[in-house]
Structure 1
């Protein structure tokens, strides 16, 4: 114990040397050729230079198999060479299939709209009873002794695809009525300027009183009923009468003097007598021309719609016969005529 205390290491064991450099852990790290340190490094010692850097030789590229065909995508197309998007027959068949699907979709939409219209009509009838079918045209006040004569509801009775056409024809009839009233005023002004135009003024009153109700009953109502119930007979009535109406529109636009129409010729004749009256008659002639053009366009349009419905003259004849024989008055008259003929046959000697 005293020896360890004299050596200066109070924690050393007896018989152990008081030299830290004798520790085996220190001894194994002494300078050696395998473990170089700064003490043994000699910068002036001749050493062999390191070998020069050599680029490694590239590995040979693997050869493609002889049986592999060349890829089609590696070939570049020329700017003028068309790309191959598929055969023409495949594209044509796909386009035909798409067109057929669109046509079926339109047909289904039309049938759905027709069913919806009928459902709304039945709902209106169920909610209001017979009150919903009361006549509502012309819209007259309740205190008027003359009551409405027709029932008209384009949004409820006409299919969705034909509502715009029917509404346009209704506005055409209203415009023609207003122009007839303006024609009456223009003829009145012309009669005030020149008393020799009295015949034209009288005819303008007659045309306004006759054409206004007759045009509504003779061509608008058949057109309305034709689109409402897809009636071939009403279509034929409309085409026949409205064609005559278009001819009359053209005559009104021409304005033959003495016929009661303030057309172009009548306005030019009055231009020499009074400029203001001539301007009014020219305005009426312009309105007559616009109505004539619109009437011809709508006639062609309705005729194209009629041809798409698959109607025919034979169908119109069948509808006419069914309508005539279903009329109670016609059946009663036919029965009376047959009974009278039979009675006369038995009384004959």
Structure 2
């Protein structure tokens, strides 16, 4: 595993800051779940894009006569939640499917549930919270129609992202329970320390084979437990 080079986030080579994670869905995630993990990754990008659009909307809100506080808080949400959402709920889900880790599944469920609640609050759009959701948008139509239209785009995006997050939460929970996962398994991983030992959880790698082109990367075994997939999302 020492031959692997971190590749996420993709950064220009001239920067001294290097990528923090190694991500390769085709290589590390069992084939039946690659599509789901890929869709959750796209959902993370959609949420980050919505936060970017929210900054633009709050700027239009400010330009139309709104408070500058909303614009400042929207920048905070972008800087804080864009990277934290990746590390706090996408990575646990990625590692959960990669190594069949109940602890990581439970981490994902807990944090992603809180994320869904926060996304719902952002969709509602309480004034002073730095999000141009529905309440703020509808009320601002009487002050500045142009700014309110820009805000409306963000409100629609927040609504779409929140709905997709709810579907993902239900989908992953159904797969986890259908595969025999439980809170007791997560407690067992916690008590034994297996949750923090990647070599233990991923000890099923095949040996590296030597070819004329040099050594290849170790591959994950096909014996990784597979969760049932009875429907498409």
In the superposition, the TM-score normalised over structure 1's length comes to 0.55
Name the residue aligned to 1:271. 141
Given the alignment, which residue of 161, 167, 190 partners 1:320?
190
* CA shift for structure 1 position 320: 1.5
Given the alignment, which residue of 201, 210, 213 partners 2:71?
201
Name the residue aligned to 1:221. 91
Greater C-alpha radius of gyration:
1
Name the residue aligned to 1:136. 7
Aligned equivalents of 1:309, 1:215: Cα separation in 2? 26
Name the residue aligned to 1:152. 23
* CA shift for structure 1 position 324: 7.1
Alignment of 1:294-333 (within 5 A): 294-323=164-193
* CA shift for structure 1 position 189: 1.1
Aligned equivalents of 1:142, 1:232: Cα separation in 2? 36
1:246–1:145 CA distance, 2 compared to 1 (3 A): same
Bigger RCO (CA 8 Å, 6+ sep):
2
Aligned equivalents of 1:305, 1:290: Cα separation in 2? 23
Name the residue aligned to 2:108. 238
Alignment of 1:149-188 (within 5 A): 149-188=20-59
Aligned equivalents of 2:42, 2:105: Cα separation in 1? 19
1:280 aligns with 2:150: yes
In the superposition, the TM-score normalised over structure 2's length comes to 0.81
| SS in structure 2 at match of 1:136 | coil
Do the aligned partners of 2:58 and 2:132 also contact (CA within 8 Å) in 1?
yes
Alignment of 1:50-89 (within 5 A): none
* CA shift for structure 1 position 187: 0.3
* CA shift for structure 1 position 321: 2.3
| SS in structure 1 at match of 2:193 | helix
Name the residue aligned to 2:60. 189
Structure 2, unaligned stretches of length 5 or more? 198-233
1:140–1:156 CA distance, 2 compared to 1 (3 A): same
| SS in structure 1 at match of 2:8 | coil
1:325–1:146 CA distance, 2 compared to 1 (3 A): closer
Aligned equivalents of 2:165, 2:14: Cα separation in 1? 36
Aligned equivalents of 1:240, 1:326: Cα separation in 2? 18
How many residues matched?
197
Name the residue aligned to 1:211. 81
Name the residue aligned to 2:159. 289
Q: Deviations over 1:222-258 (max 9, x none)?
A: 0000000010000000000000101111111111111
Q: Deviations over 1:186-231 (max 9, x none)?
A: 101111121x511111110111111011111111100000000010
Aligned equivalents of 1:321, 1:215: Cα separation in 2? 27
Aligned equivalents of 1:184, 1:214: Cα separation in 2? 17
**Aligned-residue RMSD, C-alpha:** 1.5
